Structure 1
Amino acid sequence: MTSLPPHAPPPPPRPPGLDPLASQQAQVRRTQRTDRLLRIAIVWLLVLATLWVAQPYLSALWFSATGPRTVTARGELAPAEKATVDLFKQVSPSVVHVFAQGSQRVSPFAVQQEAPVQSGSGVIWDAAGHVVTNNHVIQNASQLGVRLASGEFVTARVVGTAPNYDLAVLQLERPHTPLRPIAIGSSEDLQVGQATFAIGNPYGLEQTLTTGIVSALRRRLPTAAAHEVRGVIQTDAAINPGNSGGPLLDSAGRLIGINTAIISGSGASAGIGFAIPVDAVNRVVTALITNGSVPVPGIGIVAARETETAQLGIDGVVILRTLPDSPAAQAGLEGATDDGYVRDVITGANGSDIHSMSDLAAALEEAGIGRDVKLTVERDGRARTVTVKVTDISQRRRT
């Protein structure tokens, strides 16, 4: 039997990290914890995937409205909305739908072909049943009809036309609905940026309201016979085919123009529309109702087309011929010779340069019927001044 020395120290303890059994047990615990977390994550992923797949069905089951929804209180309209609503209610009874049927055509393959029907808009001018529209809406029509805002359809006849202003006046025949003439405003004091409103029948859609602003003023709009309407209003209120002849309004519901044309590559609204100013409309319509025609200032000449003048390299109005007993003939102006030799070219009027027939027409209109206009006329390269009296050539045109 071996005995230890009485004062020998005990053996030192084994470090934990060096215990194989403890290290193995710690590794097992870590593995179990990882497996448990992985299983939990898989379970949650399965739950989320199940909820994602079932969500549409659960929403349809829990949230579908099985009865009429409760109406939410609207409250008061905004002031601008109320003003627009009131404007439409006030003005829409004065806007009509104009229908124009062309002459019927005879075909060798059919006894009769149905005549085409075009439509536009118009405004009730007075309580006597006069309606103002565009001349191009009713041009070459054999039958005319007007549908009032009430739905009543009334036949109409032409009172007078003014192609130079693209305006026409119709007379309703025995309407039963009380008529509400449109309120007349002024175009002289308009400002760019003012609100505009258009009511019409674009593409046959009756009583359509569009809004915009005055985009520009004092535009020039070419119409018939090389005439230009001056002071035309440009607006971005949507104007489409069928709006022609309808009213352009200010925020007070007053007529400030008659919508007549658009600029568009597609034929639809491109935000560039034009309206004949109401000051011109007021003057022209009064003349049409009173006399059936509008005085057209002129001097009695037939001018060459601008394309022909440009081909000759001439800047001005080339006189092809003068009408017998006209102011131009009496002033000694001469037209081109039979062999095409150009005699007189008008290059100025009352101190302003004249480049085209529209320039001359504007100068004559500014001078006024019955007054003299001083024309600068070139003949054989020499310029001279000729005084010519402006006359009404509308009577001569009709004869």
Structure 2
Amino acid sequence: MPFVGVATGVSSENPTRRRVLRTVGTVAAIGGIGVGASVAQDGQDEDGESNGQGEGDATGEYTAVYRDTIGSVVLVTVTGPRGGGGLGSGFVIDDQHVVTNDHVVSNATDDGVELQFNTEEWRTASIVGTDPYSDLAVLRVENMPDAASELSIVDREPAIGQEVLALGNPLGLDASISQGIVSGVDRVLPSPSGFSIPAAIQTDAPVNPGNSGGPLVSLEGEVFGVVFAGAGQAIGFAISPRLANRVVPALIEDDTYEHPYMGVAVQPVGPEIADAVGLEDATGVLVTEVVPDAPADGVLEPAVPARRGSGDVIVAIDGEQIQNQAQLLSYLALETAPDDTVELTVVRNGDQQSVEVTLEARPEPRLPQTPIEPAP
């Protein structure tokens, strides 16, 4: 299992978004173990925004949501240090702040972020704070256009099957809307940092490069996620609203966010592992590696390949049952903070016992220095 800065099965040499997202569903990074992949900059195309034409006189619910929210959705255009450019999407959350993806603006120059609103108004934005671990960023805008009212990020997960709309600028096509449902929750996605993004929302609403950073909204116009990427095959993803509501306020207040860090790599427990460690049911996660000097070092025991049945299996955290790595990662990300002490229930050598781990803040990510992809 990989540690931070160590190569994995996914190349770290600027893989494409499609290649990166093939890793979804593989071993999760639990505070210290990463997938070792970067996320490509969003799609490039000529800019330009909607002036409201094309809406006609339709009165359907999709049209109503579009009219109520599109004024708060922006086209984010970025100029890089070598003159290259890229684009993505974003949305207004209050009278001076816009949320987008970190990978959309991560290589921007100090004055290289411009926002275009659907009223055709342009604003220069400054970067308030970025977080590569959640792939979120906050921009500040002076003199926000009057039509750009704030969109509210809910503090709950959407229901599977709930109808949602993706707003943004796919492939540079401005002020676009696409419709779908919530296909799944609690997904684990790779991030530019080499760690995994927990609790992500899966949708079949079509999203493409250029959509990233835009809102995934309900039919009531509430934000149910920050669009992260489209993986093709009618699958798209969005960053969880619960994670966004932890990260975004911290970026506004402190320009950074500290994620909890345990320092282990895990893998799911299947029937073979369950039999080897003495579990009646195939549940929990097997600790495969522990980062030296990490919080879990000396507390948790990793599996030794040559010793069948070795290694701790984590079956609960703070009394909450853990069935897979997605649940463990989500609990750490959404319920804990650095300096918290968590109680882990583990099966070791066939016996169940409790151990405590005091979490730390994640170390600085080792990001690849990838220039913004040029516009075609």
**Alignment TM-score, normalising by the size of structure 1:** 0.60
CA distance in structure 2 between the aligned counterparts of 1:364 and 1:379, rounded to whole angstroms = 21
Q: Give 1:135's aligned residue.
A: 102
**1:360: Cα distance to partner?**
5.6
1:165 is paired with a residue whose SS is coil
Q: Give 1:178's aligned residue.
A: 146
Could you tell me whether the CA contact under 8 Å between 2:228 and 2:237 is conserved in 1?
A: yes
Q: Map 1:334-373; keep pairs closer than 5 Å.
A: 347-348=313-314, 350=317, 361-365=329-333, 368-369=336-337, 370-373=339-342
Gaps of 5+ in 2: 1-55, 268-284, 303-309, 366-376
CA distance in structure 2 between the aligned counterparts of 1:139 and 1:100, rounded to whole angstroms = 9
- Code of the residue aligned with 1:100 in structure 2: it is V
1:274 is paired with a residue whose SS is strand
CA distance in structure 2 between the aligned counterparts of 1:166 and 1:101, rounded to whole angstroms = 19
Q: Give 2:81's aligned residue.
A: 103
- Code of the residue aligned with 2:92 in structure 1: it is I
Q: Give 2:227's aligned residue.
A: 259
2:134 is the counterpart of 1:165: yes
2:288 is the counterpart of 1:317: yes
Q: Give 1:278's aligned residue.
A: 241
Could you tell me whether the CA contact under 8 Å between 1:124 and 1:179 is conserved in 2?
A: no
- Code of the residue aligned with 2:64 in structure 1: it is D
Q: Give 1:201's aligned residue.
A: 169
Q: Give 2:12's aligned residue.
A: none
Q: After superposition, what is the alpha-carbon deviation per residue over 1:309-363, rounded to whole angstroms, capped at 9, x for unaligned? A: xxxxx9523124215xxx446x66799xxxxxxxx9654263766986x776445
CA distance in structure 1 between the aligned counterparts of 2:266 and 2:158, rounded to whole angstroms = 35
2:292 is paired with a residue whose SS is strand
2:360 is the counterpart of 1:397: no
**1:257: Cα distance to partner?**
1.5
Could you tell me whether the CA contact under 8 Å between 1:346 and 1:376 is conserved in 2?
A: no
CA distance in structure 2 between the aligned counterparts of 1:180 and 1:101, rounded to whole angstroms = 23
2:159 is paired with a residue whose SS is coil
- Code of the residue aligned with 2:248 in structure 1: it is V
**1:144: Cα distance to partner?**
1.8
Q: After superposition, what is the alpha-carbon deviation per residue over 1:103-156, rounded to whole angstroms, capped at 9, x for unaligned? A: 22xxxxxxxxxx3211100001110x2110011111222222212222232222
CA distance in structure 1 between the aligned counterparts of 2:254 and 2:89, rounded to whole angstroms = 24
1:92 is paired with a residue whose SS is helix
Q: Which moved more, 1:196-205 or 1:136-145?
A: 136-145
- Code of the residue aligned with 2:89 in structure 1: it is S
- Code of the residue aligned with 2:222 in structure 1: it is R
2:111 is the counterpart of 1:148: no
**1:187: Cα distance to partner?**
6.1
Gaps of 5+ in 1: 1-75, 105-114, 265-269, 307-313, 336-343
Could you tell me whether the CA contact under 8 Å between 1:182 and 1:254 is conserved in 2?
A: no
Greater helix share, structure number: 1
Compare relative contact order (CA 8 Å, sep 6+) and give the higher one, 1 or 2.
2
CA distance in structure 2 between the aligned counterparts of 1:384 and 1:191, rounded to whole angstroms = 35
**Alignment TM-score, normalising by the size of structure 2:** 0.63
Number of aligned pairs? 283
**1:297: Cα distance to partner?**
0.6
Could you tell me whether the CA contact under 8 Å between 2:172 and 2:210 is conserved in 1?
A: yes
Task: Tell me: CA distance 1:150–1:367, structure 2 relative to 1, closer, same or farther (3 Å).
Answer: closer
2:165 is paired with a residue whose SS is strand
**1:239: Cα distance to partner?**
0.9
- Give the greater-gyration-radius structure (CA): 1
Could you tell me whether the CA contact under 8 Å between 1:298 and 1:361 is conserved in 2?
A: no
**1:280: Cα distance to partner?**
2.5
RMSD across aligned positions (CA): 3.7
Q: After superposition, what is the alpha-carbon deviation per residue over 1:41-61, rounded to whole angstroms, capped at 9, x for unaligned? A: xxxxxxxxxxxxxxxxxxxxx
- Code of the residue aligned with 1:244 in structure 2: it is S
